[in-house]
Amino acid sequence: MQALRIISEDHSNLWRLTTTIDHVADEIEEGAPVDPRFFNSVFDYLEHFVDRAHHPKEDDYLFRIMRERSVKAAEILDPLQRDHRNGPDQLSTLRALMIEASRHAERRAEFLKSLRLFTMGQKAHISAEERYAMPLAREVLHETDWAEIDAAFLDREDPLFGDQAKAEFAELFHRIASLAPASVGLGGQTAGALVAATTTANAEPLLRVRNLESWYGRIQALKGIDIEVRRGETVALVGANGAGKTTFMRTLSGVQPMRAGSIEFDGMDISKLRSDMRMRRGICQSPEGRQVFGPLSIEDNLRLGAYTQPRQQVEGDMEKIFAMFPILKEKRNLPAGTLSGGQQQMLAIGRALMGRPKLLLLDEPSMGLAPLLVQEVFNVVKSLKAQGMTILLVEQNAMAALAIADRGYVLETGSVTLTGSGQDLINNEQVRAAYLGM
Ligand SMILES: Nc1ncnc2c1ncn2[C@@H]1O[C@H](COP(=O)(O)OP(=O)(O)O)[C@@H](O)[C@H]1O
Ligand SMILES: [Mg+2]
């Protein structure tokens, strides 16, 4: 039933996107201009992703086989597939209305009305599919049906849904997040590319933590943790609020004392090293709550991330960060405090990258961000992973973190209770019940 998981992920992305459209519609109602670049990128995404990939997969495999297996299917699927067929026309109508509205203020009301109808329709469609179609699929499809459907959904070479198509969707989504107003997106003027180059992970451990304990006075926050991160891996550490995730990250970077255990990093026991020495050796952290220095400029914040690095490389490294986050380049001389939450998160990640990490520690990078940006932050993590960065990612947003992780650990009140591949943990009943709200 991998296909259902993939469809649900698509749905949550689409839900985020429609929520963003509604928010932008509110702003237009209050007098903001209609930005054709933003809306065109939204419509491009919907056209490419929904009409060319998401719907055809459902129509050609899942829905087709459901109809063969159950007489009840038609009643549920007919209206859904009617929506699928109407999608392209609806989008081209919206595009035309949007162009008119961007040129003539008096045409805005008409555009907004159609836009609201569109987002309501999208949400109704997603809800109906999740509430009626998916349970029916679980009920009536056989194991051999799932084998066929899952194979189609998981085919990485597929021109519609494979890796290359996914990279294009991620890029389009990134454009939307960049072009959206700062209240819901990154609010930049340029929509630069996220660079992605693939390297393969090799199996040698970079970080090996054994029996790590840490205490706050008489309260034991970490009760003997064993965790390994191999070179090139993305490892997710997930768990509820208060589980000890932040304490673990701070113990690794050396700002939180450990009472027992050992930390081996890059072939050396670093348990006794000061935090700045650990940073020099390549452990760089983007802390929980971002913690950028508000009064300092963006550039100076980035320079702080490089204070353990030789001077002559700093300017060059900063240009690399700016290429990755063009929004920061545009605002390089402004105080960091003027940035939106999403922009500050990019700055916090950029600052950690300035230390040329061998291991990048990310503590809840999606915390407190607008829904559109949650996906954007995970896209950034994915693209760093694709460039070969080794990443330890801490998240309460377990589903999203495990989906991009090679492996994961579940932390509960200071102990690791489960470990496995990201995919195994997503499929684990215990994990689903506890962290995914399913
Ligand atoms: N500065 C502190 N003083 C005392 N207890 C703390 C402190 N910081 C965290 N704790 C406790 O340690 C446990 C783990 O917290 P934390 O590492 O922040 O969890 P998480 O990041 O998973 O939400 C919690 O029970 C929390 O109350
Ligand atoms: Mg925390």
- pLDDT single digits (tens) 133-149: 999 999 999 999 999 99
Note the pLDDT of residue 167.
80
Note the pLDDT of residue 379.
86
DSSP 192: P
Note the pLDDT of residue 273.
95
Joined together, the tokens standing for residue 325 give 């986050």
* Residue in 267, 228, 354 with CA at minimum distance from that of residue 302: 354
Residue 200 has pLDDT above 50, yes or no: no
Note the pLDDT of residue 189.
61
pLDDT band at 192 (very low <50, low <70, confident <90, very high): low
In our burial notation (b when 16+ CB lie closer than 10 A, e otherwise), range 142-171 reads eeebbeebbebbeeeebeebeeebebebbb
Note the pLDDT of residue 88.
93
Are residues 286 and 359 in contact, defined by beta-carbon separation less than 8 angstroms?
Answer: no
- Mutating to test ligand 1, I would choose from 212, 213, 215, 219 the residue with most ligand atoms within 8 A of its C-beta, which is 219
Sign of the alpha-carbon dihedral angle for 290, 250, 230, 433: negative
Q: What is the mean pLDDT of residues 101-127?
A: 96
- Element housing 276 (H / E): helix 275-281
250 CB within 6 A, ligand 1? no
pLDDT tens figures, 21-40: 999 999 999 999 999 999 99
pLDDT band at 168 (very low <50, low <70, confident <90, very high): confident
Number of H helices, E strands in the chain: 19, 10
- Mutating to test ligand 1, I would choose from 241, 247, 251 the residue with most ligand atoms within 8 A of its C-beta, which is 247
Are residues 282 and 357 in contact, defined by beta-carbon separation less than 8 angstroms?
Answer: yes
The reported pTM is 0.81
Note the pLDDT of residue 87.
93
242 CB within 6 A, ligand 1? yes
370 CB within 6 A, ligand 1? no
Nearest CA to ligand 1 atom 18: 246
| Residues forming beta bridges with residue 411, ordered by sequence position | 416
Note the pLDDT of residue 184.
81
More confident residue, 233 or 191: 233
Tell me which long-range contacts 76-83 makes (C-beta under 8 A, separation of at least 24). Answer: 76/128, 76/132, 76/133, 76/136, 77/133, 79/128, 80/125, 80/128, 80/129, 80/133, 83/121, 83/125
pLDDT tens figures, 245-270: 999 999 999 999 999 999 999 999 99
Q: What is the mean pLDDT of residues 234-252?
A: 95
Amino acid at position 78, single letter: D
Q: pLDDT > 70: what percent of the chain? A: 95
pLDDT tens figures, 45-91: 999 888 888 898 899 999 999 999 999 999 999 999 999 999 999 99
The position carrying tokens 């996914």 is 166
Residues in CB range of 402: below 8 A, 6 or more apart: 236, 238, 408, 422, 423, 425, 426, 431
Note the pLDDT of residue 190.
60
Question: Which range (372-376, 377-381, 433-437) has the least confidence?
Answer: 433-437
219 CB within 6 A, ligand 1? yes
Residue 382 has pLDDT above 70, yes or no: yes
Phi-psi map region of 233: left, alpha, beta (phi>0 left; psi -120 to 50 alpha): beta
Joined together, the tokens standing for residue 199 give 């390297």
pLDDT band at 195 (very low <50, low <70, confident <90, very high): low
Note the pLDDT of residue 194.
59
Joined together, the tokens standing for residue 84 give 């699928």
pLDDT band at 8 (very low <50, low <70, confident <90, very high): confident
Phi, psi (degrees; rounded to nearest 5) at 15: -65, -45
Q: Which atom of ligand 1 lies nearest, measured to the CA of 240?
A: 22
Average pLDDT of the chain, as a whole number: 91
Amino acid at position 398, single letter: A
Note the pLDDT of residue 199.
46
Sign of the alpha-carbon dihedral angle for 427, 411, 359, 420: negative
Q: How far is CA 116 from the centre of its chain?
A: 26
Nearest CA to ligand 1 atom 12: 221
Joined together, the tokens standing for residue 17 give 């996107």
Note the pLDDT of residue 136.
97
Rounded Cα gap, residues 270 and 281, in angstroms: 9
Rounded Cα gap, residues 306 and 395, in angstroms: 25
